[in-house]
Structure 1
């Protein structure tokens, strides 16, 4: 049984349920705790509303509930969350703000990597279940993001900051309670998503709705009431999406395992097109697991009143401020960039803010390598993200040199979209195989069975097709932009208020 193959460091209270549904106990604990967090979030929004309760009480309750869920799921391993947060808070307090962000980045990422090495190579290599380093990955994002935001807010003048950095800049050092609440609150302790510190504090203090009652042109939307918008509709829709994704995953993920396209002699002897089709279906059956986890996490935050992002044109509220994915845009992506832009959105924003925007040399390569380090120490992660560098550069070269030739008519544009959709899906499946199988041997066997064809094609495209440097592209776009808004500061969510949730096209 699955419950016998994976150890659980948390509570064993739900062991009977684990045996009943034939799922690992730590996965059962995770889902039950997230459902508990969902119910608690509704209570938090209704009975601990900012109009009824002080920010201090909301911080305390959010933090204590977060630690309780962490202890239930991970046992004493949850202490790592406190140690990591405590070390970096000490650095923030006792180190000058001039270099504090660099020290926090190194310590937070280093501590995460140490825990990942210990878990993988000492305790449980190849464990696919929930583990304590998963929450630490999100906490690492929050720690490093906040460190850079404090550095920007306390050491730089406003005119030297990009629009997104102005919005994110933190002008005062957070208290220890605020810091722990931001890192370890019950809304995101188990599965995130990452959010900016300013957005979280605005949620706790109840000021998050106010400036979003205005349209982007500064005029008040007459269709929108000035009372707090209700997240009920969006929460129900997201829970329905979760149920559907879970059903699809439990039904199909065991039918099309990725390993068969590498190890099974029957499949490896099949025609190339059949192998491509099977690979696509196997990856398609894996994605609903992530859709379920991230959509449920988003629903939990929305149920607590966090995630409001202005109004649609029809006056309905938007609750996508911290959403982590857009399923339809992922499945129908027509470019490598479009897929990445809509997959794990908050992580991509973190990578953009702490690495891509600030790295002076080869930012694309540096961003992918940082992503590999953050994900963990399995060799498959590095194979995937190194391959992703070539895929991204090649996709950018094709887009800049080929796309304009298909924009003359709608028919040509549709043909281009079909071709790029097929190419994107094949490239994504090809690239992420090592991410799934983790080990070097099976990954290289898979790539060798494809004769490394996409790697070679990407290298040839990058060498053959010229692409402007990032500085040249930014200069051109700034000259064409109506208000000279930096091109990296176009809103990901098309929000009415913020330059916070933005994403560079190349990230």
Structure 2
């Protein structure tokens, strides 16, 4: 039994989870070593070797010989780019199919009823990174007029060496749980473009403290409301209002598990000086360029759209940049949005819970837009001034939106966490399928109203002026 196994058994946590946590925290001493001994070294290969060796070592610490999966993926993309660069469509297609196919095969052979910490976890991060890298290489072959503003910022003129690609893919504080970033950011960092700015260590330590706080809240919260509780008859026998709020608070605690990991790794990226974004409103360096969560929006938001905008930010930006915007030729935002969510569901794996979760996101965001549109057009013009001056309305408005925010987050996250149909449908049944029922009622009322409004307008006689 290794040291990690011994400590995990004493603490009472899975050894895989302990290794994951230690790997995230390792980003801080790595950042300190780099800043003290390597950052000013003129030899760029030394920088690449340092990051590649650190990342591969941490990957091997977590997954042992299964590290070969990621090595194979990186080498394959390197070969495809150099051999097929002059044929970008073929290169992109083969690169995309290879990485998605390899990832899905990995899911197929390793999946269980739980969210497993296996080699497939960093491999899903690598899959997006290598697919995005392929797009960046192909974008440089297009004319300047064909590129969007975002594509101009990520397109690659000079191809990296295999060592550089390994360092980029295995960057110690980014390969395990993200965040996603393009190769151009890594190259800018190595070229020293961010070194002139100060405050990165302080920003990183603040992010570290927030990560520890969220991890503590997550652990306490899930001890009070563990996943297994929602599959028990005891939960199903609770009063309805308690059931839906218990589910909502459980979802918040479950989200904090992901958020704490992202905060820890973001802090390490900040500490090493990797995440420079520009200057903030006060003219000070902004080190949030790799932030994967917008904490203020997450905690103060009131809609599902706020969750989408504040959670897993870099992955959403990746999907927006490499999937959604490249489907512009379809001339339909709804189809492009559905395709982007479909890609995300497939990227997560085969479990039905992923597909249900992203389907629910699409439906709820659509309904939210319809409700907002109806409120803006029909309520505010008539009663807006009165409502703005009413303190009672302001309080009720806040309570209703925040309650909706908590309750529906529980509904949406259920399938994502419980994964298997027989598990998440049990929880849905325990809360009387309220998420489906309320949305069906709204969709029927909304479309029925517009249908009859159209019929009335169509049958109304047209008045001709003399």
TM-score interval, smaller chain: 0.7 to 0.9
Matched, 1:429 2:410: yes
Q: Which residues of 2 match residues 1-80 of structure 1 at below 5 A?
A: 12-49=2-39, 51-80=40-69
Change in CA separation of 1:310 and 1:414 when aligned onto 2, cut-off 3 Å: farther
- Contact kept, 8 Å, 2:244 with 2:431, in 1: the verdict is no
In structure 2, the residue matched to 1:365 is 338
| Contact persistence 2:179–2:292 (CA under 8 A) | yes
Q: 1-side partners of 2:411 and 2:105: how far apart? A: 29
Partner of 2:92: 101
1:316 Cα deviation from its structure 2 partner = 3.2
Query: Which one has the bigger helix percentage?
Result: 2
Cross-structure match for 2:461: none
Deviation at 1:137, TM superposition (A): 1.1
What is the TM-score when the length of structure 2 is the normalising length? 0.87
Deviation for aligned residue 1:285: 2.1
Indicate whether 1:206 and 2:174 are aligned. no
Answer yes or no: is the 8 Å Cα contact 2:27–2:265 preserved in 1: no
Query: Where do 1:78-93 residues align within 5 Å?
Result: 78-93=67-82
- Greater shift in the superposed pair: 140-149 or 441-450: 441-450
**Structure 1 segment 487-506 matched on structure 2, within 5 A:** none
Contact 1:246 1:288 in 2 (8 A): yes
Offset of 1:312 from its aligned partner?
A: 2.5
Residue in structure 2 matching 1:192, options 178, 181, 195: 178
- Gaps in structure 1 of 5+ consecutive residues: 1-10, 210-226, 467-507
Identify the match of residue 159 of structure 1 among 112, 129, 145: 145
Equivalent of residue 133 in structure 1, options 107, 120, 124: 120
SS of 2:341's partner is helix
> Could you tell me how far 1:450 is from its partner in structure 2?
4.1
Matched pairs, number:
432
Q: Deviations over 1:62-93 (max 9, x none)?
A: 01111011111110011100111122222222
Once the two structures are superposed, the pairs formed by residues 65-464 of structure 1 within 5 Å of their partners are: 65-95=54-84, 96-120=87-111, 125-154=112-141, 156-208=142-194, 227-261=196-230, 263-359=231-327, 360=330, 362-403=335-376, 405-406=379-380, 408=385, 409=388, 411=390, 415-459=396-440, 461=442
Displacement of 1:278: 1.0
Deviation (angstroms), 1:203:
0.7
1:55 shift after superposition: 2.2
Q: 1:410 to 1:237 in 2, by over 3 A?
A: farther
Q: Secondary structure at the match of 2:269?
A: helix
- Counterpart contact for 1:368–1:385, Cα < 8 Å: yes
Tell me the CA shift for residue 27 of structure 1. 1.6
Change (3 A) 1:429 1:410: farther
Distance 1:431 1:206, change over 3 A: same
User: How much has 1:47 moved relative to structure 2?
Assistant: 2.1
3-state SS, counterpart of residue 292 of structure 1: helix
Q: Give the drift of 1:464.
A: 5.7
User: Is the Cα–Cα contact under 8 Å of residues 204 and 269 in structure 2 kept in the other structure?
Assistant: no
Question: Which structure: larger Rg?
Answer: 2
C-alpha distance after superposition, 1:164-208 (max 9, x if no partner): 222122223322222222111222122221112111110111124
| Closer/same/farther in 2, CA of residues 400 and 48 from structure 1, 3 Å limit | farther
Partner residue, 1:476: none
Stretches of 4+ aligned residues off by more than 6 angstroms? none
- Give the aligned partner of residue 3 of structure 1: none
**Inter-CA distance 413–318: structure 2 relative to 1 (3 Å threshold):** farther
In 2, Cα distance between equivalents of 1:43 and 1:403: 55
Q: How far, CA to CA, are the matches of 2:140 and 2:444 in structure 1?
A: 41
Taking the aligned partners of 1:203 and 1:401, their CA distance within structure 2 comes to 47
Alpha-carbon distance in structure 2 between the residues aligned to 1:357 and 1:382: 22
Moved more, 397-406 or 35-44: 397-406
> For residues 389 and 75 of structure 2, what CA distance do their matches in structure 1 show?
57
Shift of 1:259: 3.4
Q: In 1, Cα distance between the equivalents of 2:149 and 2:253?
A: 39
Q: Is the 8 A contact 1:390 1:459 kept in 2?
A: no
3-state secondary structure, aligned to 1:306: coil
Query: CA 1:456–1:366 in 2, change beyond 3 Å: closer, same or farther?
Result: farther
